[in-house]
Amino acid sequence: MQILVIILALAVLAILVILAIAATKPATFTIQRTTDIDAAPDAIFPLINDFHNWRDWSPWEALDPDLKRKMSGAESGRGAVYEWEGNKKVGSGRMEITEAAAPNKVAIKLDFLKPFEAHNVARFTIEPQGTKTRLNWAMTGPSPLMSKVMQVFMNFDKMVGKDFEKGLASIKAIAERKRLAGS
């Protein structure tokens, strides 16, 4: 009986330590990655501003060949909506472009529904840098308690950042290929 009490006390202590560490995590998070592209902002902007083009570069497209997509609202730009439902790797959710300032900025309201619910904002900033263009992809959102607890064990910046890097590399390849082809 005494061993059971000790085990229970250690389990409670472990939970309290995890919660204490989680409480030190920030209330919001930001994940961002940047790349320089040898193409004009006008060549990059439509790849992001039109959800129909996301199939060509989104890092999540390849994770589910049977991904179901539904696009509604505006054809592109503000009011364009992209909903998806897929396997457990991509889950389900909805994106809506809330701001589009050609050729420099696209802001997206991002609602994840599965495997967990989260409501974030993604921002793409496109800035000329001499003969190149700098593309920044950032996602910000709240960190509720459960998210903070998960952050004790997982590095979201590394996990999601890797996907951002893949997506940015794909956008870069497409935009530079189009520039070389003269279109």
Q: Which structure tokens are listed for 20?
A: 């204490």
Q: Is 156 helix (H, G, I), strand (E, B) or coil?
A: helix
pTM given for the model: 0.86
Distance CA 61, CA 78 (A): 22
Amino acid at 5: V
In the DSSP assignment, the letter for residue 76 is: S
Contact 56, 175 (CB under 8 A): no
Q: Which domains does the chain have, with CATH numbers?
A: 28-181 (3.30.530.20)
Q: Note down pLDDT in tens along the chain; length 183 residues.
A: 888 888 888 888 888 888 787 788 888 899 999 999 999 999 999 999 999 999 999 999 889 989 999 999 999 999 999 999 999 999 999 999 999 999 999 999 999 999 888 999 999 999 999 989 999 999 999 988 788 778 878 888 888 899 999 999 999 999 999 877 765
